[in-house]
Structure 1
Amino acid sequence: MSLDEKTDALRSQSLSEKVVHTEVLADSDLLNEAYNAENDEHAMGVVEAIKAHPMACFWGFIMCFTIVMESFDMFLNGNFVSQKAFQQHFGVPHPTADDPTAHVIPTKWQSALFQSGQCGAFVGVFLAGPVTNRLGYRWTTILALALMNATIFVSFFADSLAVLTVGQALEGVPWGFFIANSPAYASEVVPLVLRAACTATLQMSWSIGGIIVAAATYATNKHMSPAAWKIPLGLQWLFPLPLMVILFFAPESPYWLARKGRKEEALRSVKRLGAKTEKAAAEKLAMIERTVELEKLHGGQPTLLDLFKGTDLRRTIIICLVYASQNLAGNLIANQATFFFEQAGMGATFAFQLNLINSCLQFIANACAWWLTSWFGRRTIMLWGFAVNTTLLVLLGICASVPQNTHTNYAQACLGIIISFVFAGTLGPIAYTIIAETSSVRLRALSTGVGRACYYVFEIPLIYLASQMLNPTGWNLAGKCGYVWGATAAVCWVMSYFYLPELKHRSYRELDILFGRKIPARQFKNVEIDVKENE
């Protein structure tokens, strides 16, 4: 090693020791290092960031993959109500001209199956914030995975709709932990330019769960024994244990460690996430600590009440509205796709085939979202997503209102698939990015939990409404439900236009400043923030 290299190494080591033991805001040298790190993140391109931080991408994806279990169960219940063996075992007689022995799951039990897991998740998201603040993202998720492993037993051995409903409610509690922690952790471990792509993998994990369910239920659909639904239920055990083992070796979020004052561990975490040199790691930690210290000036130990005070109230409202909008843009059609296809006039076997195709197309749409988030802003994607789906949903309603024949049946099925595709490529993935970026670092674990709770507050009654609209024992509207979801999607477009700011290419420090200045949503994009500003 040359003399210059030894000198640089000693300086880097000295800088690392300094950032670990000194407050950044009180040291001009460390502030300069924080400026450098933030400027580097702004200048970094997508490909460059992936090459420089492959492990950060990996750990972000693994954490996001936990949501596959909520997706799995949501789609599973949607397929069970269309499964012949499940209907015969748990349903009530509903003879038709084509099948005098036909059974159907009553609307109240359809709703209960869909709603029970979300009720459990509602509890889970409120528990997730305080537990994560105490234990960290890593250990909280590992404990939730262990709980998931245990609760699957109740559903698997259930022999009545009541017990199955209880099992789904118990499984819902760990879902709440997964969905609260995943976007927060993913957004904190990757560079700024990768935040959207990484958090968007939440929606991809949702689609992966849908594909596995669609394939499993299609394969078992013709079985008339309890294995028809027990095999898909048992497949849930594929995920928790491997994820527990992998996440045991995951680095904790350096932002969480910095908030806890565990700076040496935060520095090691930064290195594991991709910092190539001692100097780069120290600069990144300085940037993180600067943001954490600035937020501490506005409050101490985070509490749920802090979410509803000052500028954090605005941020909480945006997160809640974005989460709620996921249930109001026609997405519930996708969650009950097989049943929707049957009500649109498709045969049972073909409905399961269409559902599998629909799930695969959603996965493709999720992959397209990675590129969309690189080209367009968060606000732009949301507005266009709502506009397109509003139009398609109204067309679905019109198609279901004219005299029905084979052509209108296929048209409704195709529109249902296109609506799901648009959601999976725009509104679904970008929502998780907005939620992770809008919250302040100090309150992130709490705000993502409360936002998801708002999602369930809307989803639970809307699931009942969706089942009531589609079920032959309910309102039997079939594709006419497009009018209802088209109206709610239009309301979401209006709310987004006036209240949703553009968050792309903004560091967490810059977002704190923009919200602190109470900049109107439509002006966020044009406000310039100097790298040296501390507010």
Structure 2
Amino acid sequence: MASFQNDEKANGVKETGAFHAEVLDDKEVLNNAYEAETREQEMGMWEAVKSYPWACLWAFIMCFTIVMESFDMFLNGNFVALGAFRRKYGVMVAAGEFSIPTKWQSALFQSGQCGAFVGVFLAGPITNRIGYRWTTILGLVLMILTILVSFFANSLTLLVVGQALEGIPWGFFIANSPAYASEIVPLALRGACTATLQMSWSIGSIIVAAATYSYNQRNDQWAWRVPIALQWIFPVPLLVLVWLSPESPWWLIRRGRKEEALRSIKRLGSKREGNNEETLAMMERTVEIEAQAGGSPKLTDLFKGNDLRRTLITCFMYMSQNFAGNLIANQATFFFEQAGISPDFAFKLNLINSCLQFIANIVSLPLTGWFGRRTIYLWGTAFNATMLFILGVCATVKQTSGTNYAQACLGIIISFVYAGTLGPISYSIISETSSVRLRALSTGVGRAAYYVAEIPMIYLASKLLNPTGWNLAGKCGYVWGSTAVICWVAAYFFLPELKGRSYRELDILFNRKTPARQFKKTIIDVKDND
């Protein structure tokens, strides 16, 4: 708890922020900053991994907190396909066949997202005050407690309440993880390390797929209670690891805690003499430029001037995750069943699908070093839009076992491409777009936009697939293909290329109102401050 007290006392800094006006007038500090930024610009991905292994580890651990939201999201998607769960809480739609009503199916998905919507708005102000570390620790403690409600729930109503409560710490994790990961690793690793967020989603889906496949033949309450209980395997070890992790040096500098920031940099990075001091100088310079431009961070700043553009890009990237096949991936087992696959084989396919997504996540890591963020997003969206329309065609023609399997295969391909391109690169773009000063607030508001889009889309997805709804099965490909095309057009005109740019350069590019398609070509001198 000493860090809370130090935060208020250190260097006489108020909680509204720290200002170091002397930084931009100190030639030695500026020269160190130039050296550090040039070094990061020239560093390759493999060299960065060798020089900053601990930064990679801590970034992955923080991103791994997302596995809990992933686990629960995919768990709900599998609940509606579990025979025992449907018999307990569903309605009969045919002789011996039960289905969860659309309103409850949607509620199971939406309640956690509603809780997370609250959580992401709480995350920004809390993080600005106590830091990424302590906010994540608070979220993990809340997670341990709220799982109790879901585990002991004996009705759909109570299960929905439990999901809503669990959603609040999810909001903390998803708001903080990409911001923390992007702040502790060098420029060459920002894309890869933030992309591991999608890997955590895949890991969560693999565990859920394995657990529900193992228990889908059970006819009692443990078919769903055991998978819920498995959520407790994550928070305790993560609590220990996050406790041991260093705080973001960027956050410490913003709070005026220079000595602690230097210690954090040393824990994260290179052992070469002088490199850490140069890195500190680079961070101080960027923080001071932003402080002079906007002062201490406030939520309203996200919607003013050049920061409004950055906020809109962040919100767009989060919202677009719902519109290019992701909702099919989230309800894969149920989708396979509606495509005509037998329930037991649908669970097997879901497990295969989850493992393939994990492989796609691994493939995506070097892609972030080879190709630009904008390039990966545009090509991934274009491919998935095409596959979604083909899925719709397969569901429209006369249905046979061949068309059923074709729809299942297309669902797997769409999920694979999403997990290798759109999903991971979205987090990279989100973490890089906002200014350092507003990052904790920006990622929270961006994720809130994701939930604003996802909550009605979950209802729509359930309505599209459910036998008690529109029962369109693979014809939903026409809907999601159309939304994917809209996302592609918007990204083509408004999404800038962020790869290889320092936070200082991005600040300057946005402040100069550089058009999105000109970001890649524009040259910024290492000595430019505005």
The aligned counterpart of 2:152 is 157
Q: CA deviation at 1:101?
A: 1.6
Measure how far apart 1:23 and its partner are: 3.5
Shift of 1:290: 0.4
Q: Distance in 1 between matches of 2:92 and 2:21?
A: 72
SS in structure 2 at match of 1:472 = coil
> Which amino acid is 1:177 matched to?
F
User: 2:485 and 2:505 mapped to 1: Cα distance?
Assistant: 31
Q: 1:404 to 1:259 in 2, by over 3 A?
A: same
Matches within 5 A, 1:242-281: 242-281=237-276
Aligned residue for 2:15? none
Aligned partners of 2:81 and 2:334 also within 8 Å: yes
Q: Is the 8 A contact 2:21 2:288 kept in 1?
A: no
What is residue 12 of structure 2 aligned with on the other side?
none
Q: 1:22 deviation in Å? A: 8.7
1:213 corresponds, among 205, 208, 212, to: 208
- Hey, what does 2:58 align to over in structure 1? 59
SS in structure 1 of the partner of residue 419 of structure 2: helix
Query: CA deviation digits over 1:250-275, x for unaligned, max 9?
Result: 00000000000000000000000013
Task: For 1:86, give the aligned amino acid.
Answer: F
Match of 1:36 in 2: 35
What count of residue pairs does the alignment treat as equivalent?
A: 512
2:307 is the counterpart of 1:312 = yes
Partner of 1:237: 232
Q: Which residue of 2 aligns with 1:68?
A: 67
**Residues 389-408 of structure 1: pairs in structure 2 closer than 5 A:** 389-408=384-403
Distance 1:403 1:465 in 2: 25
| Shift in CA distance, 191/185, structure 1 to aligned 2, threshold 3 Å | same
Give, in angstroms, the shift of residue 94 of structure 1.
1.7
Measured in 2, the distance between the counterparts of 1:92 and 1:241 equals: 38
Question: 1:21 & 1:84 partners in 2: Cα distance?
Answer: 62
Report matched runs for 1:341-356 at 5 Å: 341-356=336-351
Q: TM-score, normalization: structure 1?
A: 0.95
Cα displacement string for residues 105-141 of structure 1 (whole angstroms, at most 9, x for unaligned residues): 0000000000000000000000000000000000000
Equivalent residue runs for 1:86-235 within 5 Å? 86-95=85-94, 100-235=95-230
SS in 2 for 1:297: helix
1:169-188 CA-to-partner distances (Å, cap 9, x unmatched) read 00000000000000000000
The residue identity in structure 2 corresponding to 1:261 is G
* CA apart distance, 1:330: 1.4
Structure 1: unaligned runs, 5 residues or longer: 1-19
Q: In 1, distance between residues paired with 2:287 and 2:389? A: 46
Residue type of the partner of 1:250?
S
CA distance in 2, matches of 1:299, 1:370: 34
| Partner SS state of residue 526, structure 1 | coil
Separation (CA, whole Å) in 1 of partners of 2:205 and 2:313:
28
- Whole-angstrom distance in 2 between the partners of 1:64 and 1:304: 24
Tell me if the contact between 2:360 and 2:420 (Cα under 8 Å) persists in the aligned partners: yes
Deviation per CA, 1:198-227, whole angstroms, max 9, x where unpaired?
Answer: 000000000000000000000000001111
State how far apart, in whole Å, the 2-side matches of 1:21 and 1:155 are.
48
Answer yes or no: is the 8 Å Cα contact 2:20–2:288 preserved in 1.
Answer: no
Q: Which amino acid aligns with 1:284?
A: T
The Cα shift of 1:93 comes to 1.3
Equivalent residue number for residue 10 of structure 2: none
Which residue does the alignment assign to 1:13? Answer: none
Please state how far the C-alpha of 1:150 moved relative to its aligned partner: 0.2
Question: 1:301 offset after TM fit, Å?
Answer: 1.8
- d(CA) in 2 for partners of 1:34 and 1:470? 55
Moved over 4 A (4+): none
C-alpha offsets along residues 366-423 of structure 1, whole Å, 9 cap, x if unaligned? 0010111111100000100110001000000000000000000000000000000000
Question: Alignment RMSD, CA only?
Answer: 1.0
Residue 510 of structure 1 pairs with residue 505 of structure 2: yes
Percent of aligned positions that are identical: 72
C-alpha displacement of 1:26: 1.8
Provide the secondary structure at the position in 1 that maps to 2:520.
helix
Q: Cα deviation per residue 1:147-201 (whole Å; 9 max; x = unaligned)?
A: 0000000000001000000000000000000000000000000000000000000
1:83-108 CA distance string (max 9 Å, x none): 0010111111122xxxx222110000
Q: Give the aligned partner of residue 85 of structure 1.
A: 84
CA distance in 2, matches of 1:247, 1:175: 15
SS in 2 for 1:426: helix
Amino acid at match of 2:72: D
**Distance between the aligned counterparts of 1:160 and 1:347, measured in 2?**
27
Aligned equivalents of 1:293, 1:172: Cα separation in 2:
35
Q: 2:160 is paired with a residue of what secondary structure? A: helix
Aligned-partner Cα distance in 2 for 1:41–1:274: 12
Shift of 1:25: 0.9
Partners in 1 of 2:527 and 2:294 — Cα distance? 22
Q: CA deviation at 1:427?
A: 0.3
1:357 matched to 2:352? The reply is: yes
Is structure 2 residue 376 aligned with structure 1 residue 381?
yes
Tell me which amino acid in the other structure corresponds to 2:50. Answer: K
The separation in 1 between residues aligned to 2:305 and 2:343, in whole angstroms, is 53
Corresponding position: 1:521 with 2:520? no
Gaps spanning 5+ residues in structure 2: where?
Answer: 1-18
- What secondary structure is seen at the aligned counterpart in 2 of 1:450? helix
Q: What is the CA–CA distance in structure 1 between the aligned matches of 2:20 and 2:184, rounded to whole Å?
A: 22
Counterpart CA distance in 1 for 2:399 and 2:369 is 42
AA of the residue aligned to 1:85: A
Aligned to 2:453: 458
Given that 2:388 and 2:477 are in contact with CA atoms closer than 8 Å, whether structure 1 keeps it comes out as yes
Amino acid corresponding to residue 238 of structure 1 in structure 2: I
Deviation at 1:278, TM superposition (A): 4.2
Deviation at 1:503, TM superposition (A): 0.2
Q: Is the 8 A contact 2:66 2:173 kept in 1?
A: yes
CA–CA separation in structure 1 for the residues paired with 2:340 and 2:98: 17
CA distance in 1, matches of 2:20, 2:390: 62
What's 1:6 paired with? none
Supply the distance in 2 between the matched residues of 1:315 and 1:452 (Cα, whole angstroms): 14
Distance in 2 between residues matched to 1:463 and 1:80, nearest whole Å: 15
Name the counterpart of 1:368.
363
Letter in 1 for 2:382: A
Partner in structure 1 of residue 11 of structure 2: none
TM-score by structure 2 length? Answer: 0.96
In the alignment, the residues of structure 2 paired with residue 140 and residue 23 of structure 1 have an alpha-carbon distance, to the nearest angstrom, of 31
Q: Is 1:25 the counterpart of 2:20 in the alignment?
A: no
- Alpha-carbon separation, structure 1, partners of 2:28 and 2:366: 37
Write the distance in 2 (CA, Å) between the matches of 1:371 and 1:283: 27
